[in-house]
Amino acid sequence: MKKPLIIINFKTYVEGCGDMAVSISKSAEKIGEGAGAEMIVCPQAADIYRVASAVSIPVFAQHVDPISGGSSTGHILPLSVKEAGGSGTLVNHSERRLKLADIDAVINEAKKVGLTTVICSNNIATTSAASALSPDYVAVEPPELIGSGIPVSKANPDIVRGSMGAVKNINPDVKVLCGAGISRGDDVKAALELGAEGVLLASGVVKAKDPAAALLDLVGFL
């Protein structure tokens, strides 16, 4: 079984904020290392520096804006994520949608400053469009399964297979992840069996009573 990439999005869950962001990230680092899985954490923007200072696994932003610096009060500058110790960013999450031209501008700016990019898509058509913009990863997440506890890799394997096929035709350099409702090792295993590189998940870890136990379960099949 190939080793999965597991990206944990802390969203704006209070359980994943401040000290708790650091604590979950340290568990992800330790458990990922022990199992040989690659873990990436996406804390809130204000926590990127403290998390990146505390762990050596990659820390991604949840969003950056399509800007290169200047008079854009309240926006997130890709360079500032990099300077804070971040090494990548989610783009176009279904809770933070962007226009196509803005996704393109974010990808270009992120590349310029050296951030890895993960475009989130909601179906096979948007996965195709996203892959044409040459991000490092596309993560397909059907919105109706987000936060549901019903794993996309089991409830809708066709969207994962279809996304893999679409990306292969358009831009085979782009790697495919899937997300929504993932919370158990079995869900991750099913994603890998469909050909995905790994998963993007949130509530299954961040809102778990015991996030470390949830992380251990995720890699238990390895």
* Catalytic residue IDs: 93, 141
Tell me whether residue 92 or residue 131 sits nearer to ligand G3P (CB atom).
92
Going edge to edge, which strands form the sheet with 60-61? Answer: 38-42, 5-9, 198-201, 175-179, 137-140, 116-121, 88-91, 60-61
Spatial distance between the Cα atoms of 78 and 45, rounded to a whole number of angstroms: 11
How many residues comprise the chain? 222
* Number of C-beta neighbours around residue 77 at 10 A: 17
Spatial distance between the Cα atoms of 24 and 8, rounded to a whole number of angstroms: 9
Smallest distance, ligand G3P to C-beta of residue 68, A: 26
Strands (E), the chain: 5-9, 38-42, 60-61, 88-91, 116-121, 137-140, 175-179, 198-201
Tell me whether residue 93 or residue 175 sits nearer to ligand G3P (CB atom).
93
- Residue-by-residue DSSP string for 107-155: HHHHHHHT-EEEEEESSHHHHHHHHHT--SEEEE--GGGTTSS--HHHH
Spatial distance between the Cα atoms of 59 and 87, rounded to a whole number of angstroms: 6
Smallest distance, ligand G3P to C-beta of residue 169, A: 25
Spatial distance between the Cα atoms of 54 and 25, rounded to a whole number of angstroms: 8
Smallest distance, ligand G3P to C-beta of residue 6, A: 11
Smallest distance, ligand G3P to C-beta of residue 12, A: 12
Smallest distance, ligand G3P to C-beta of residue 189, A: 16
Tell me whether residue 159 or residue 202 sits nearer to ligand G3P (CB atom).
202
Tell me whether residue 68 or residue 221 sits nearer to ligand G3P (CB atom).
221
Rg (CA), the chain: 16
Q: Which residues bind ligand G3P (CB under 6 A)?
A: 9, 93, 141, 146-147, 179-182, 200-204
| Position of minimal CB gap to ligand G3P | 203
Tell me whether residue 35 or residue 40 sits nearer to ligand G3P (CB atom).
40
